[in-house]
């Protein structure tokens, strides 16, 4: 760093010691120092991006330089012996040091601001939330009563996004994997959740506002405090910054006493009232309720959807033809009162989740999606292993999918509590020797006391491979380590604690309790991340304002397309209704916007809710289809709109595919900027086409365009040298003839046109004739 090479403290002390004139003035010395510092800083910056710790040290050094120089200036002024030039030089040097300190503070702010909670992210988050609430994707529940924290209602577009995500989830997992789907009640009897361990172990440490009684998660308060200090307190000493980082790293390991001690040490108070907080205490996260009118049967709102599947395992096994089903699935709400793979099945589902994310979250940068394995202190009481799919958003990295290896914990627990064996049977094609595992309950009881039962069950549940490996280890070493999932740790098994042998008795089937992998998707979190990652702004046409856009993939977009009559015109309105009916028949969600506002405003309005395609009716025979993000347009026939949009929204075709197949729409803005050569070439081309068409129709066509046969073209005699107009019509519908008549009646002089001696290529703003010309041009070329 710069200050390692040139130490300002030495300069300041010399200024303080001697106010007498010297051959090398302080201003020259300080100016040279500042110049060297600026040069060195520029070189260092260009070499590599410094770490946050380095930036904090640099800021501390520069702030110390400012403080020291300030003391030096005050000493010079107080001493009275310094010349005005020396004082002015010292003041200028102080200003230079302040500028450098400010620059160092900005660099540090950018570094920490790029992370979760940074100012830029907060600003972006607020823009997203404002747009979502204003466009009714979601709104706070019970809003007229000031709402309840954490409760939200989905509005119409939000419901559609959620339904689209769930539909693809069901397609990707349930249908493709041939899963068995169930739908269980949201209320669960207490006995079920006692067996699963949730009543006893599903807790978090909470603190309470001592005056209002409001409760908060103790670890969240401590985490938010440490993160805010690291991100916003730029003068934080390095030692303190390291301490906060260490706390964040070990937060899940802190006991109730340690959490309480840190909260008191840092003076953390209730966020809303600033009142003191109580000591942390365990709080069960489930909502308790009663079942039935007597209130004697205790129940809970289910904390997870998995328990309904576990207790139905026996019936699902029977439904599946006495064969172990690959998987069962459930979509539903769970209620919580508030967050190197060595298992092949676990790894398989991590892969499936990654594929799912690439489809639904295709617009998310891969660098902002990660899979993270839980540390031992993070594991739920039922988990042997767990991985989270996390997505980075303005709140930081948040868990969106949890993939837990629950082993046989739940099925065994419910089997024991209910007395109903939740087991599967594997039939052998040939009889096999039986593996016999006989735990010594006496020795295990002496060694593990109250945990004896869990160790016995784990030993009996070993696979043949695990048992034979243990047998070999016991015979060679006399003892071995063995992981007991229900205990969450390894235990030491000695030779006298278990007997493992292969009996001569032949078995025709194996009875076992299946192990379970549970991928659990937080649909609400997934959808919110989708909202954030798909949001961006772009300047309006006039560049006077920024327009909000959601770039939803067609797969999850709430509305697939909109239909706009270009102007208030009954014929256009009728054509729009025809298109809407075809879209409805094709099961494509859409809306019709017939308001009188400009077409640009209508585009912006639908871009803001993420509609990927807009159909603009500017003719009774052909229309334009606009793609949201590129704003490119193509022209297609009215009878083709539904099929083209369906191909795009279902992923059968890409925008590049349809752009190659259909002609691009050239609007008035594009024509205004065309060169004279381009205009002349276009006019020549149309004149040749008019001549070709004229040869195929009767001489009386010019007087009555509607008399032309279907599929033919009507052309004025412009190619014969009459510069009145060029009328082009495919005449397969009466509406086109009316368009042509309306155009002719106005007279070409009233419209802007590209003129050539043998042809007139008219366009008039937001009208249909140019579209008709391009449609005919395509058909002529095809013929």
Section 52-70 average pLDDT: 77
pLDDT, residue 280, reads: 92
3-state secondary structure of 354: helix
Residues of the chain with pLDDT > 70, as a percent, come to: 73
pLDDT, residue 48, reads: 46
pLDDT, residue 356, reads: 77
Section 633-639 average pLDDT: 92
Identify which has the larger pLDDT, 4 or 623.
Answer: 623
Q: How far apart are CA 359 and CA 352, in angstroms?
A: 11
Which letter does DSSP use for residue 6 in this model? S
Section 245-261 average pLDDT: 85
pLDDT, residue 343, reads: 58
609: confidence class by pLDDT, cuts 50, 70, 90: very high
pLDDT surpassing 70 at residue 723: no
CA nearest neighbour of 519 among 371, 631, 420: 371
pLDDT surpassing 50 at residue 261: yes
pLDDT, residue 115, reads: 46
Cα 184 to the center of its chain, rounded Å: 28
CB neighbourhood size of 141 (10 A): 13
Section 688-706 average pLDDT: 45
Asked if 139 and 153 touch (Cβ cutoff 8 Å), the reply is yes
Asked if 596 and 567 touch (Cβ cutoff 8 Å), the reply is no
pLDDT, residue 642, reads: 94
pLDDT surpassing 60 at residue 129: yes
pLDDT, residue 47, reads: 38
The secondary structure of 500-567 as a DSSP string is: EEEEEEEEEEEEEPPPEEEEEE-HHHHHHHHHHHHEEEEE-TTSSSEEEEE---TTT-S-SEEEEESS
Identify which has the larger pLDDT, 211 or 337.
Answer: 211
Asked if 697 and 713 touch (Cβ cutoff 8 Å), the reply is yes
Q: How far apart are CA 501 and CA 567, in angstroms?
A: 86
Section 179-198 average pLDDT: 90
Tens digits of per-residue pLDDT, 282-340? 888 888 888 888 878 888 888 888 888 889 999 999 999 888 888 888 887 776 655 34
According to the per-residue pLDDT averaged within each range, which of 180-189, 334-343, 354-363, 433-442 is highest? Answer: 180-189
Identify which has the larger pLDDT, 682 or 179.
Answer: 179
Section 563-575 average pLDDT: 88
pLDDT, residue 676, reads: 54
Section 547-567 average pLDDT: 92
Asked if 319 and 312 touch (Cβ cutoff 8 Å), the reply is no
Please tell me the least confidently modeled range out of 362-366, 379-383, 734-738: 734-738
Average pLDDT over the chain reads 75
pLDDT, residue 658, reads: 93
Tens digits of per-residue pLDDT, 9-25? 222 222 333 333 333 33
Tens digits of per-residue pLDDT, 647-674? 999 889 999 999 999 988 865 544 444 4
Residues of the chain with pLDDT > 90, as a percent, come to: 20
What are the chain's domains?
2-113 (no CATH), 424-512 (3.30.720.200), 559-665 (3.40.50.800), 669-782 (no CATH)
pLDDT, residue 505, reads: 65
Which residues is 742 bridged to in the sheet?
none
Identify which has the larger pLDDT, 369 or 698.
Answer: 369
Identify which has the larger pLDDT, 625 or 89.
Answer: 625
According to the per-residue pLDDT averaged within each range, which of 163-167, 272-276, 553-557, 582-586 is highest? Answer: 582-586
pLDDT, residue 87, reads: 78
pLDDT, residue 461, reads: 82
pLDDT, residue 360, reads: 61
Which residues is 434 bridged to in the sheet?
503
């Amino acid at each position: 760093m710069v200050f390692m090479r040139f130490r300002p403290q030495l300069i300041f002390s010399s200024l303080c010691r001697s106010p007498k004139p010297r051959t090398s003035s302080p201003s020259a010395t300080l100016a040279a120092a500042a110049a060297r510092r600026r040069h060195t800083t520029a070189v260092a910056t260009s070499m590599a991006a410094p770490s946050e710790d380095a930036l904090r040290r640099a800021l501390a050094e520069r702030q110390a330089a400012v403080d020291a120089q300030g003391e030096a200036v005050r000493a010079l002024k107080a001493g009275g012996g310094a010349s005005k030039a020396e004082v002015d030089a010292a003041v200028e040097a102080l200003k230079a040091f302040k500028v450098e300190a400010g620059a160092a503070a900005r660099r540090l702010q950018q570094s920490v601001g790029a992370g979760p909670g940074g100012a830029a992210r907060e600003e972006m988050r607020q823009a997203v939330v404002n747009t979502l609430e204003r466009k009714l994707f979601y709104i706070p529940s019970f809003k007229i009563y000031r709402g309840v924290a954490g409760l939200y209602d989905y509005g119409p577009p939000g419901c559609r996004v959620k339904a689209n995500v769930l539909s693809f989830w069901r397609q990707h997992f349930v249908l493709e994997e041939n899963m068995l789907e169930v739908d269980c009640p949201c209320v669960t009897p207490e006995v079920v959740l006692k067996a699963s361990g949730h009543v006893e172990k599903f807790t978090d440490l909470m603190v309470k506002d001592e005056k209002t009684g409001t409760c908060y998660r103790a670890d969240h308060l401590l985490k938010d405090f440490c993160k805010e200090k690291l991100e916003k307190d730029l003068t934080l000493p390095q030692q303190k910054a390291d301490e906060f980082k260490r706390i964040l790293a070990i937060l899940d390991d802190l006991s109730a006493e340690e959490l309480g001690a840190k909260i008191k040490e840092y003076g953390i108070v209730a966020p809303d009232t600033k009142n003191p907080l109580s000591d942390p205490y365990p709080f069960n996260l489930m909502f308790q309720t009663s079942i039935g009118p007597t209130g004697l049967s205790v129940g809970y709102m289910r904390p997870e959807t998995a328990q309904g599947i576990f207790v139905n395992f026996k019936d699902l096994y029977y439904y599946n033809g006495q064969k172990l089903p690959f998987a069962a699935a459930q979509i539903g709400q769970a209620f919580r009162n508030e967050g190197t793979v060595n298992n092949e099945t676990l790894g398989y589902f991590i892969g499936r989740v990654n594929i799912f994310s690439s489809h639904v979250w295709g617009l998310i940068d891969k660098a902002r999606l990660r899979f993270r394995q839980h540390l031992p202190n993070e594991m739920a009481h039922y988990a042997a292993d767990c991985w989270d799919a996390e997505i980075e958003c303005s709140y930081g990295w948040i868990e969106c999918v949890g993939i837990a290896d629950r082993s046989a914990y739940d099925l065994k627990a419910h089997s024991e509590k209910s007395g109903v064996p939740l087991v599967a049977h594997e039939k052998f094609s040939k009889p096999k020797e039986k593996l016999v595992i006989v735990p010594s309950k006496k020795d295990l009881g002496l060694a593990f006391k109250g945990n004896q039962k869990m160790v016995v069950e784990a030993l009996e549940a070993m696979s043949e491979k695990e048992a034979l490996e243990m047998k070999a280890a016991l015979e060679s070493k006399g003892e071995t380590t063995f992981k007991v999932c229900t205990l969450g740790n390894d235990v030491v098994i000695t030779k006298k604690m278990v007997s493992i042998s292969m009996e001569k008795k032949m078995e025709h089937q194996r009875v076992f309790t299946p192990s379970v992998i549970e991928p659990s998707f937080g649909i609400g979190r997934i959808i919110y991340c989708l909202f954030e990652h798909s949001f961006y702004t772009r300047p309006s046409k006039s560049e006077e304002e920024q327009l909000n856009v959601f770039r939803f993939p067609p797969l999850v977009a709430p509305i697939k397309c909109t239909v706009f009559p270009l102007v208030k015109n009954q014929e256009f309105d009728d054509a729009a209704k025809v298109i809407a009916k075809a879209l409805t028949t094709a099961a494509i969600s859409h809306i019709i916007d017939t308001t009188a506002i400009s077409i640009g405003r209508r585009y912006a309005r639908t871009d803001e809710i993420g509609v990927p395609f807009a159909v603009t009716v500017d003719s009774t025979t052909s229309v334009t289809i606009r793609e949201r993000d590129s704003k490119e347009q193509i022209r297609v026939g009215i009878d083709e709109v539904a099929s083209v949009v369906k191909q795009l929204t279902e992923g059968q075709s890409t925008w590049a595919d349809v752009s190659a197949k259909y002609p691009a729409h050239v609007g008035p803005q594009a024509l205004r900027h065309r060169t004279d050569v381009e205009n002349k070439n276009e006019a020549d081309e149309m004149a040749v086409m008019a001549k070709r068409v004229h040869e195929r129709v009767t001489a009386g066509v010019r007087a009555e365009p509607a008399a032309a046969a279907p599929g033919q073209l009507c052309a004025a005699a412009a190619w014969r040298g009459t510069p009145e107009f060029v009328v082009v019509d495919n005449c397969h519908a009466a509406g086109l003839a009316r368009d042509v008549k309306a155009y002719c009646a106005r007279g070409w002089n009233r419209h802007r046109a590209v003129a050539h001696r043998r042809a007139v290529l008219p366009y008039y703003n937001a009208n249909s004739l140019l579209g008709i010309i391009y449609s005919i041009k395509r058909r002529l070329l095809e013929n």
